[in-house]
Structure 1
Amino acid sequence: MKYLKTFFVPAAASLLFLAASCAKEQFAGSADTLADSEYTAVTLTAGFDTSVRTAVDAEGKVSWKAGDIIRYYSESGGTVGSATVGQDCAVAEFEATVAQNASFLVAACGGESLTGNTSGEVFSLEGAVCARQSGRFTDAHVAVARTEDPEAGVLTFRNLTALVKFTLERSDVALISFSSNDQTLLHGDGVLNVTFSGGNPQASFGGSGGNSIEVSTSGAGTFFISSLPGTLGEGFTISCYDSGGKLLGEASTRKALVLKQGTITNLGTIDGRISTPAPDYDPDLSRSGTANCYIIPVGGEYFFDASVKGSSTEPVEGTPAGAKVLWESSVSGSAPSAGDIITGVGYSQGKISFTATGSDGNAVIALTDASGAVLWSWHIWCCKGYRPDECLQTYFKNAGVVMDRNLGAVSAVPGEAGALGLLYQWGRKDPFPGGYCATAPASLPSPVESDASTGTIAYSVANPTVFITCNEDNFNWLTKSDNTLWQDSGSPKGIYDPCPAGYRVPDGGGSGLWAKVLGTAAWTAKGCWDLNMKGINFGTNDKPLGPDKVIWYPAAGYINSTVGALNNVGYSGSYWSSTVDEDGSCCFNISPYFSSSTSYVQPTQTYDRAYAMSVRCVKE
């Protein structure tokens, strides 16, 4: 789901799709062996009426024939309107505003947010290849055609993406993830430019994207994936999940695979190549160390040590009697019901146990005494398939090895709401829901102003869901500053550090994570701010943080320090460091420069500690 981006779902058009079959399986033999590729061109046919010329009346109604422009889309409900091309060559009419006397015809199918734009010989589509697809052939392509003969009866459409075809015979698979092993982009949220040379369309893909496409399979059948053309130099991996998000197995090859524009690559039946996974999770979350946050990659039953504070050996104070969920959140667009993310929470013999449903989201679990008072609390970060050590990004100049996403984010895909993550007041271990987080209960308690009773560490621990605003005499949520809550890398990890075991809040300031690569001065650069996705890809801009193609920093906004309101989602992104600066703390800040594609980056900005902002954890 994109955020702060206006888009429409394209309107329906009836086309007759014809695709020749592929006789050979490209995914044959062992997991590291692929047979010779066999490709089949994709062609489509459509009837039209040659007795009329294009007419656009005052209301925008269009009648068409060969040689004139028409735009087709595969889904219903879009603002372009709807058109039906009859098998008997009836006239197609639809409500739209189109350029007259255009020289080509376009049929665009698939994509999450297709928007059409014509100018001379160029047709642009935003969101041409999406990260999540249905597996149906009818929406697994982007095809175009140009009319050369006004009297022609058949239009030949050329597919501009690469199609991957596979068959499943087992019925327990609900989702397939198709990934390149070398981070080659498979989907793109940028712009697809189509030009015509000698009647044949040529496509160039730009913008950012990702190296994994999810396809809903819903059991046995034959399915299609629409992909950006390219060479997968290190091969690919197919991961299979059940309806609860549990990994059922994987099929992988390291042999290079070429995905060609306008062709179908047939992987054949993949059941026999799907390996049975090793135990896919350790139920003891604290086995490798205690922390204030635990990552849940798959659904299942878990437990962790609830006897100590964070990553320390300091015992939790009070007499534990039980455990409860304080809140749950998702980015699905609607608030989760209680138990949608985690359920079955309990406490026994110094351990908290619970069951993760396998759904993406976040939750906070509290250890309580007999009266229900909170003694300590933990952030449960449920992110399907996410194992951070497998997705780390190494920044230049030995600055650090960093997570590929914000703390609490369920996605690292540019533009997705799930990439925003959660927000933290400096020095506190417990998160607050960020942009596009729908929570259960629907709202958290109202903010309180910092004073002698509320502006204390003890109050923050006992009230992890309460946002503490600063008062007019103090720009901190604490009435008395404490610089040791989050520690720099030269000291042991702070008790209140919100990052999972093995990770910590990064150093900031002049010698911190971002300044080591980008320098200490604020800078502006054209083309860095992504107006559509609302953020910066520091993998491809003029000052990259590291060698990865996508290092995405979204504009997740912040919670205001004075009133506790969420602000600037999609406009700015502020990332805490552990480094203090007098009564404030250092952070990394990004924003557009005068609402343009020019970015404004501040590697060493300082903010009041009562703000709640994003955290990007670094490997210890």
Structure 2
Amino acid sequence: MNKFTTRIKQMVFLTMAVCLAVSCTEDMETSRSALNNGSTALRISFAAPDYTQVNTRSVMESGIKDMTVLVFKEGRLKKTIQLEGLSFAQAVTVEGIPSLPKGTTDPFTGTFVENGNENIICFLANVKAMTGNWPALISEEEAGNGQGVTTYTEFLNYKPTYESKDALVSTGYIPMYGVYTDGIVDGMTNQINVSLTRALAKINFTVNTDNFRLADGEMPSVVVNGISLHNVPLEVTLPSKKNRPALPVGGLNGIWPDVQQPYPTYAEKGFVSFDANDEKSMSGNTDMATFVAYMPENARGSYDGITNYKDKSNAAKLAEVIGSAEGLTYLLVDLTYTTNSGIMRKVEYTIYLGGNNAGDMNIRANAQYNVTTYIYGDNTEDGAVTNIKVIPLFDPSIVKNEGNEKLVDIAQTPANCYMVDVEDNEGDFYIPLSQVRKGWTYIEKSLNDGKAYVDELDKVIRGGKWELVTLWKTMNHENSNIVGTMPDDSWISPDNAPGMKNYFAKLIFGEGVENGNNAVIALSATEDGEIFKNGDILWSWHIWLTDYKPAINGIVENGEVHKYEGISFTSGNYRGIMDRNLGAVYSGKITGQLQTTEEAVKLYGLQYQWGRKDPFPASGDGTNTMLTVYDANNETYSFPSPVANDNFENKLKDAVMNPTTFYFKNGGGDWTKQDNNLWTGSDLDVFSPTPAGWSLPGTVSGYGALTNAWAGFGDGNFSGVKNAGSYDSEIGPFDWKAALPDQVGTAGRLYELTDDSGTAWYPAAGSRNSGTAVLQSTGNNGGYWSASTSGGNGVLLYFSNSSVYPVGNNSRAYGFSVRCVHK
């Protein structure tokens, strides 16, 4: 079994400089100047070293909203001055400052021994912004008794506290501290420079899942749902070394920060957790996400028993060395992966934070922690990341049979088209909604517009805030709708999580639903969210109502599965190709050209723009008149007017939410921003229109545009005798059969199979014009998309009465037929 590993690639601990001074402006050339009234004043310039900027919520990392100036003389608070509306850009003059001899060493950066004679000016920035109140420190002036009430020692123990998590994440200003000890000359304007130290740490976290693999080597679709930060204290600790106890015996000698007793003291009500939604700071795509947060200092100690990062994130090891992981700050990564077979699992990873040294479990104020974690799998035995929880969300193996083996087998694999024989349906039919999530994962990554589509989609699906109804159908009689509901818990085996039912929809077929029809059903939101609104279509499926049951290794019912002997077909590893177009409603085996218009049009099937999963009806009468379809009320369904996309914008989201709208570019071209991965020839393509297990012929396994299933039709590259000659428009391997007398729309081409097993019929179903969406050339031309591309075009088999282009190419905005292949 491949070993899952999680690496902390980089954890940089940066202690910001404390003594950075800002140059004075021209009107501050002298450090001191006389005042006309002979009073004492300060001319103050503030500075604070910048954090490294990253995408984050709106935080003024160097902003000052309010400032409290505290003058300590001989160890007692002499005077308090409160200022608002400050900034770093302009110096501030403060009058009425008492004279002050030179003070002791800066307690924030040097050795400080309290002697009761401290002559120091301290500065508290943004405390009112964080707490709503000015600091509760009483000066001699305020007390009115000639003696300061607050001592310097009491000030060092002052710890302003955020009222709540919401206050911490919404203040927008960072509390800061500063000190000045050089003394004040009486009767002068004293120019001083003050460097402020931030009282919050900055956590800059990136998680990367690019190389996420399962034990069998499969690389599933992975989405990072969220990142949250846990054990964040609300209490802000004054960053003074005086408050940091000595290093424990046997600890990391000489390494700052040092702490013996963790602080703040852990109390559950005093520690909070918040996630990316609180911070509004998670950004990125499905393979990588970043999270930025600010938090007060949380010093939990340094331990030489933790010698590597694997131990640092191993709960058992932490408990052994520290005694308890209680109060340690950690990140929780929540992701979901979906396997190729449709299994969906949620996985949670816990990552403990701290300094560069593995044993350093401290989060220090005024420091930025840069952490990048690469997640490579979900091995729950790996100790590099503790608390790995694998939560099953959807597993097709749990679906109860209920006496309907055929239908359940089909429904177990996510797809955009399901073949349903309603006359043989003796049990319930479920479809997995994991396909919706895979689709929006692709869309979110493709758009990269910063919107959390998948997160909101999860809320809709998990909360059951959806409905699944008929969008259009080819039936108009009573009780001919198909709807979907959320299954109850009884259909899931008791060993699995009940929440799994949220990832399935149980289809209910009206009593009037009949084979020989097509329907498109749509999943819509039923409540307003931040992105999706009530009534928005989130996904849609084509339900192909047919008794045709194509099988590769077994009995095929009511039709055939063919295998051609073209070089491309065998080299491309294709095992079979359907004998009819996708969406064809003809019942029974097809032996050649059908004799009447009524029967011929039943083989037309549906038409698709290249790269789209949703169909458009073809002709209903053998002319360029579209088949009439109906809505859920059995009224004629009117397709929306085509929408021009002349700027080649990304219309993938629009196409999903408006599955019946035809997008095009005037003058020809793609219907959306070019994306060659919408169809690749894989049965796992998230936007493939084919049933589960089938695909379009194309570039699967690295085969190029000239190796689709039809490469060689008429070019002499077939091994069989009947198809060995060069192409002739009338006599050859792919013969044109003109429309029969008085039977329009019966024309097409007939391919003779090389093993004498019969023929394959390709009706001339025409196409939809790439600029107008109007049907054209019905009965004269036929086009069959492959998943291959050629430049900005799609590759297709195209023919008329006089020519055949096995690897032709045309604008991807055209609507052509699809013939499904099996690898």
Q: Which has the larger radius of gyration?
A: 2
Question: Higher helix fraction: Structure 1 or Structure 2?
Answer: 2
Give the TM-score taking structure 2 as reference length. Answer: 0.37
